[in-house]
Amino acid sequence: MSWLRHLSSKFSSTTITSTRRFTSLSRFSTSTAPARHAGLGPTQAHEKPRVVVLGSGWAGCRLMKGLDTAIYDVVCVSPRNHMVFTPLLASTCVGTLEFRTVAEPIARIQPAISTEPGSYFFLANCTAIDADNHVVHCESVTEGAQAPDPWRFTVSYDKLVIALGAQPTTFGIHGVYEHAIFLREVYHAQEIRRKLLLNLMMSDVPGIEEEEKQRLLHCVVVGGGPTGVEFSGELSDFIVRDVRQRYAHVKDYIHVTLIEANEILSSFDVRLRQYATNQLTKSGVRLVRGIVKDVEEKKIILNDGTEVPYGLLVWSTGVGPSAIIRSLDLPKAPGGRIGIDEWLRVPTVEDIFSIGDCSGFVESTGKTPLPALAQVAERQGKYLGILLNKIGKANGGRANSAKDVDFGDQFVYKHMGSMASIGSYKALVDLRQNKEGKGLSLAGFVSWFIWRSAYLTRVISWRNRFYVAINWATTLVFGRDISRI
């Protein structure tokens, strides 16, 4: 009868496992609402307080990395399940780096999301926030024509952190969203790469007229900030070192134009800006000062009436508040971002914090607006992680329970400097707190080496550091990959 005892033991084990799974799923409140509006209900007394993080950018990921999961359950709501290492995103467009080298999964940044029973990641967008009831309304992300309807659900929170970032600024110019490509996400870089290589191959087809060939191979970048300049530098390197060897028939047609309304790299000093201008011009990038008035399918029109035909148009003119940020009924800072105080709290509401590009100091703090930089977002995420851990240890982690907790030191941002690659193994490094301050400021090959070394150490994981180093070495020896996949 040993087989019977074995079967009985196996059945009991399965029953216990099923019971545990049922207990784990019971935190999803489905009994009091229709199935399509299920949600994650309020935390119970025997459960850890819940921190809900909206967004998976620099600020949100740095916060999640620093949260003590012995104190809190962590729930992340974001339309992407990874963080993008944006400083190296331009390199992926031309094959210097592979796309996976700049993407770090959320589950690697905060493993509790995959292992803890009360922590989750939801691939969804936030649609509304009910601050009075401590509830976030969400809608699942769906893609493709055959995808099911979005699933709407709610998530209750004890502490809410809004880290939704910002959206590209188009200044209301007609046609930008329809015809230009931004450079903020991995899929943007993939789209740029596919478009660039398609145009190269199409221009080599017999019968293509001379004028059309010139248009197809004209790459226009709008915006002379670090992203636009670095992409222009990478593209010029790709043209000089790879296109002219592997596309001999059209090598003399492809060129890059960078359009900026004022000065390129305005955050750098005059000497470094002039060096960048000279180096870009030397590498074949045409610099045009002008304002884009209209964007059409095959050309852009400047304010002076000049028409500029293009085959690839990349838009990089800064960022501003997204539609969801503007729609939230929360205090606002100048410029439309979510208003925060010196401790990154949203004033007049309980248990809501905001960090990153979507937030700004309210006027009553007397603080100047912080730039929309990765280092600002990362520093805010680190500070808030320490602060929330302190609040949790002081028994203030539950909703409406932190009123008497001493928050301690305010958030203070100290600028660590700026860096930008300009191609041809050249870069700019400015480690001063401001343009008038004292400190290291240099350009050239040494700056390029510092730039690469700094970013290699800042890549999130050792896995991706290894990928980046191998990709750089492979590109140096064998050139860039030109496969259109």
- The pLDDT tens digits of the residues spanning 127-166 come to 999 999 999 999 999 876 677 788 999 999 999 999 999 9
Closest-CA residue to 371 (of 326, 331, 409, 418): 418
H helix or E strand, kind and range, residue 339: strand 338-340
What predicted TM-score, i.e. pTM, was given to this entire model?
0.89
Architecture of the domain delimited by 39-166+321-393: 3-Layer(bba) Sandwich (3.50)
Q: What pLDDT is attached to residue 66?
A: 96
> How would DSSP label each residue in 201-263?
HHTTSTT--HHHHHHHTEEEEE--SHHHHHHHHHHHHHIIIIIHHH-TTTTTT-EEEEEESS-
Q: What is the CATH number of domain 168-319+416-478?
A: 3.50.50.100
> How would DSSP label each residue in 377-401?
HHHHHHHHHHHHHHHHHTT--STT-
Pairing of the two strands 152-156 and 135-140: antiparallel
Does residue 16 register a pLDDT over 70? no
State whether residue 364 is helix, strand or coil.
Answer: helix
Cα separation, 22 vs 387, in Å, equals 34
Q: Specify the length of the chain in residues.
A: 485
Mean pLDDT of 237-265: 90
328, 348 Cβ separation under 8 angstroms? no
For the beta carbon of residue 124, count every other beta carbon within 10 angstroms.
23
Cα separation, 237 vs 425, in Å, equals 9
Q: What pLDDT is attached to residue 316?
A: 95
> How would DSSP label each residue in 404-465?
T----SPP------EEEEEETTEEEEE-SSSTTS-S-EEEEHHHHHHHHHHHHHHSSSHHHH
Mean pLDDT of 203-218: 92
Q: What pLDDT is attached to residue 18?
A: 39
Residue carrying the six token digits 């949260």: 67
Give 34's pLDDT tier (boundaries 50, 70, 90): very low
Ordered alpha helix ranges (H), 41-103: 58-66, 89-93
Does residue 29 register a pLDDT over 90? no
Q: Which two tokens stand for residue 76?
A: 């992340």
* pLDDT 10s digits, 302-313: 999 999 999 999
Mean pLDDT of 60-65: 97
H helix or E strand, kind and range, residue 179: helix 176-179
Q: What pLDDT is attached to residue 11?
A: 37
Q: What pLDDT is attached to residue 145?
A: 66
Going from N- to C-terminal start, the domains of the chain cover: 39-166+321-393, 168-319+416-478
Q: What pLDDT is attached to residue 211?
A: 93
For the beta carbon of residue 480, count every other beta carbon within 10 angstroms.
19
For the ranges 59-73, 222-236, 266-280, 425-439, the lowest mean pLDDT is seen at 425-439
Closest-CA residue to 401 (of 162, 159, 160, 161): 159
Q: What pLDDT is attached to residue 32?
A: 45
Give 446's pLDDT tier (boundaries 50, 70, 90): very high
**244 CB contacts (<8 Å, ≥6 apart)?**
251
Same fold, 39-166+321-393 and 168-319+416-478: yes
